[in-house]
Chains A and B, each alone.
Chain A
């Protein structure tokens, strides 16, 4: 088991490095001059050149990337072009908001999605199934930020329970934090819950057609036992597998939803950075997102080896 986990960890590292390399290369396409970003339009050419030299953008591409990666390994994501701020520090301040929402969304999606997915799966072919499947198909088409806007307009503003704009960090008050992430998490999680419900239901149906279900029936296992032991565990495998991709979608969605609620997350930092041409922040943002997805992937991989012993490395 330990070995399985280690192998997974080791295999994710090159993936994250490669993702950062791709982003780093893409950002080379920019025509933005970091010297102008920092020093404005009316500094001298010498000052510009000195700044470029100082931050190393005159070095060959591969040297620049090597330096960035080396620093990133120690948790240093470089300096902002716009001011003398550490990118990692800027990101860290905003990280909790975006990741709170993404995990909140995942929580909403996973609980609602699996409950309804199972409800549809165990009653496959009956009215409950038809209703849930129809609702899930529709729910999947709901854009998260629109749900957010509607929640603000029709829930947060008219009733004084949930804040429309004020984010509270978990370190200040856990209760207020939970209240402040409730609506955004619902906004984010709705479409994802629909996706999980559909997936769970489909996995169930597929499993119910497997020969081992027939065997279970023939040896006299009860319907209940077949559904909730045999089928549920087998059906959970594809759902767990795809949850990491879903988390990526939620992380991207969190950037938009936090804009709806005007929460100070990574989204507003990056939007500002794009306006200013502050590319190190954008690079740091993509890197953090990729690491976040990779860590969730890792957690799920481990969960997966617990559910499905076949995937364990001996």
Chain B
């Protein structure tokens, strides 16, 4: 959260204009009636229905009264109406909502039924009923509007109170012995302010329109008093000959409500904090741009030429940057056929950004650049760089992606079979029979028993583990050469994790798939990976065969990562051992790990180390040769993924 200054600085000019207009109208409402030279209710019969002129800027009405003066008086009426209705809605709704939300149980259910019933009556109809009971006029009319809207305020307040109650219960604040009412005031009221302001703008805007409607019908402000609504009643009597009469009061309502809505929207956006600056979401992923990297080009071509002929993915100097951070900096890696490469590191190390860039699934404001990003496929090599969005589809058809949240990764409204069919149609399956046969085949391949039944179920009807198998089956639909798995087991139960790992391993072996795996779980990596890349703060700090990394890590961070794995506990999560506080901010010069490194020398803080070969590992540490880093002895009891607890 940034401070109020920076937030208001980001506000669009439109919102500023709207605020200005609201202050102006408030000024008019307060001082306007005193400044006007005319009496709002006293007409001049010599000057009926005049058009705009120097004396009467907006002309006169059918009784010769000055339209601008009546408009100004109407502004005050609208302000009073809005304030009264909003105040009543809040004064009635908030206490009811907080009380029942906090008490819960029977009272809550009972009162909320009443609130639902009030909400079922249209606000204007409810207002008409109250006016019928207690009489016409501005004050009763707005009492009615306030009561009608207190229902939605009560709902909001109740929701907040419920949330707060849960939280307090967890915090154990009750045990501390603060009285119930004290709790309510101290914890709920400060939190309710924000949402309340947003709903208050809505009530205010509605109240202005409803006041005008009621006054128009003769149920609100009474003749001869001016209100925007009653002015329209007058205007309507003469609108055959003088249509302009209807314009000023209506425009006043329109402009006022518009200004309030604009301000309300901006408050809502600010509260929700989700500005959706890139509203196309996942639909318009970023295009990877080529990076000018001539220095390394020559070696790279050599490496490529001499490299394994069964290379599937080649990534050179991949960088992913966001406006305020660098997620990945100049990462090089490759995956060969049948090989499993794991990217490991703590959260925020850039591993997911790296593989999502490969899958062409990152969204703005990410900026992806690379010297090379290519796939070797049957019939040649294709490069992702500069591919437009249409071509990206072709790129993606050569790789399958498995995501972290299996349940959220499937369309909630379609059956598994339908979603499989969509994926299969894309790769050329046409007939219904072909599609269903292939669906069964794929679902069987991912180890789902009774695949025909699963195909008829929707995502909410299957477990997380089953959903992940379905996602994997979908990813295999296009028979890709490369499978990208982003934390495929993180959201799953420990026992299910082991099953999914076994499945991925089998798929890799049986289908000769290249697998690029992202995990923060070294146990998972140890079980699956042939080679591992250790990432820290967007940099690849060490790359080595998995066995070599476990037994002899060359980079101090890799060693730390290994040692942070508690022995004899499966499914290990690597949590950052040290809190990443201000002191540990990523340095702009030197080794990024230096602030956390116990072996750091002054030179470490001067120049960023490059990845170089040390004892057949790739290591980005200037001290790699002279450090004897602690490791886990091979065959130790640790590093078993999944449920050995």
Q: Which of B212, B396, B409 has the most CB of A within 10 A?
A: B409
Q: Which chain B residues border A97 with CB–CB below 8 Å?
A: none
Interface size for A (C-beta < 8 A) is 86
Q: Kindly identify, within residues 208 to 232 of chain A, every residue whose CB is under 8 Å from any CB belonging to chain B.
A: 208-223, 225-227, 229-231
**Chain A positions within 8 Å of B236 at CB level:** 149, 152, 260
CB atoms of A15 and B116 under 8 A apart: yes
Determine if B232 and A215 form an interchain contact, defined as CB atoms under 8 angstroms apart. Answer: no
Chain B window 341-359, contacts with chain A (Cβ cutoff 8 Å), 1 for yes, 0 for no: 0000000000000000001
Q: Do the beta carbons of B125 and A285 come within 8 Å of each other? A: yes
User: Counting CB contacts under 8 A, is A279 at the interface?
Assistant: yes
**A145 on the B face (CB < 8 A):** yes
Please give the distance in Å from B194's CB to the nearest CB on chain A. Answer: 19
- Say whether, besides A129-B279, A210-B408, A18 and B113 are in contact (CB < 8 Å): yes
For B404, give the chain A residue with the smallest CB separation: A211
Distance in Å: Cβ of B206 to nearest Cβ of chain A: 9
The reply to whether B460 and A310 form a contact with Cβ atoms under 8 Å apart is yes
Q: List residues of chain B with CB within 8 A of the CB of A22.
A: 114, 117-118, 121
Q: Across the interface, which residues of B come within 8 angstroms of A285, CB to CB? A: 125, 128-129
| Any B CB within 8 A of the CB of A85 | no
Question: Cβ of B246 < 8 Å from any Cβ of A?
Answer: yes
Binds B, one of A2-10, A52-60, A72-80, A249-257: A249-257
Residues of B within 8 A of A229 (CB): 422
Give the Cβ gap from A158 to chain B, nearest Cβ, in Å: 9
A208 with B121: in contact, given A15-B116, A225-B422, A256-B213 (CB under 8 Å)? Answer: no
Q: Is A14 an interface residue (CB 8 A)?
A: yes
* Cα(A149)–Cα(B405), bound, Å: 54
Cβ–Cβ contact B134 & A286, under 8 A: no
A211-B405 in contact (CB<8A) = yes
- B residues less than 8 Å from A150 (CB atoms): 243, 246-247, 250
- Encode B85-118 as 1/0 by CB contact (under 8 A) with A: 0000000000000000000000000000110111
Stretch at the interface among A23-31, A87-95, A103-111, A173-181: A23-31
Known contacts A26-B133, A223-B283, A294-B120; is-contact A153 B239 (Cβ 8 Å): yes
B124 at the interface (CB under 8 A from A): yes
Does A115 belong to the interface (CB within 8 Å)? no
The smallest beta-carbon distance between B290 and chain A, in angstroms, is: 22
Given contacts A142-B254, A256-B217, contact A213 B124 (CB under 8 A): no
Q: Is B126 an interface residue (CB 8 A)?
A: yes
Q: Are A289 and B121 in contact (CB under 8 A)?
A: yes
Give the residue of B280, B389, B426, B471 whose beta carbon is less than 8 angstroms from that of A221. B426
Contacts of A282 in B (CB 8 A): 128-129, 132
B131 close to A255 (CB less than 8 A): no
Cβ-defined contact, B133 with A211, below 8 A: no
B 263-291 contacts with A by CB, 8 A: 265, 276, 278-285
Of A39-47, A61-69, A266-274, which binds chain B? Answer: A266-274
Decide if B120 touches A143 in the complex (CB within 8 Å). no
Q: A137-B261, A153-B239 are in contact. Are A218 and B361 (CB under 8 A)?
A: yes
Contact with B along A228-262 (1 / 0, CB 8 A): 01110110000000000100110111011001100
Cβ–Cβ < 8 Å partners of B265 in chain A: 137
For the complex, what is the distance from the CA of A138 to the CA of B14, rounded to whole Å?
A: 12
A239 to B383, CA, bound (A): 42
B422 near A221 with CB under 8 A, answer: yes
Interchain CB contact under 8 A, A125 and B280: yes
Roughly how many angstroms separate A218 CA and B124 CA in the complex, as a whole number?
49
> Within 8 Å of chain A (Cβ to Cβ): is B416?
no
Q: A-facing mask of B373-416, CB < 8 A → 1, else 0?
A: 00000000000000001000100110011010100111111100
Chain A contacts with B in 176-213, Cβ cutoff 8 A:
205-213
Expressed in whole angstroms, the Cα–Cα distance for A184 and B474 within the complex equals 51
Which chain B positions have C-beta within 8 A of A29? 133-134
The answer to the question of A131 belonging to the interface, with a C-beta cut-off of 8 Å to chain B, is no
- Given A256-B124, A274-B136, A286-B125: A146 and B478 interface contact (C-beta under 8 Å): no
Q: How far is the CB of B389 from chain A (nearest CB, A)?
A: 8
* A101 and B236 alpha carbons, distance in the complex (Å): 20
**Chain A contacts of B239 at CB under 8 A?**
149, 152-153, 157
> Considering only CB atoms, which chain B residue lies closest to A215 in the complex?
B409
Q: Closest chain B residue to A18 by CB distance?
A: B117
Which residues of the other chain, B, contact A18 by a CB distance below 8 angstroms? 113-114, 116-117
Pick the contact of A16: B120, B123, B125, B133 (CB < 8 A): B120
Q: B477 to chain A: which residues have CB within 8 Å?
A: 219
* Interface: B122 (CB within 8 A): yes
Please tell me if the beta carbons of B217 and A212 are within 8 angstroms of each other in the complex: no
Kindly state the separation between the CA atoms of A153 and B250 in the bound complex, as whole angstroms. 13
* A208 and B282 form a contact (CB under 8 A): yes
Q: Are A26 and B130 in contact (CB under 8 A)?
A: yes
Find the residue from B213, B239, B408, B411 having the highest chain A CB count within 10 A.
B411
Q: Is the CB of A248 within 8 A of B120?
A: yes
* A209 / chain B contacts, CB cutoff of 8 Å: 276, 281-282
A-contact 0/1 string along B128-149, CB 8 Å cutoff: 1111111010000000000000
A217 to B410, CA, bound (A): 12
Query: A290 an interface residue at 8 Å Cβ cutoff?
Result: yes
Say whether A274 contacts B280, CB under 8 Å.
no
Q: Is B475 an interface residue (CB 8 A)?
A: yes
Q: Point out residues on A near B: beta carbons under 8 Å.
A: 14-16, 18-19, 21-23, 26-30, 124-125, 129, 137-138, 140-143, 145-146, 149-150, 152-154, 157, 205-223, 225-227, 229-231, 233-234, 245, 248-249, 251-253, 255-256, 259-260, 267, 270-271, 273-274, 279, 282-283, 285-286, 289-290, 293-294, 297, 307-310
| 13 A-B pairs with C-beta separation under 8 A | A125-B280, A129-B279, A146-B246, A205-B281, A212-B412, A214-B403, A219-B423, A220-B396, A249-B122, A256-B213, A285-B125, A290-B121, A293-B120
Nearest 4 pairs between A and B by C-beta? Answer: A252-B124, A208-B281, A124-B279, A146-B250
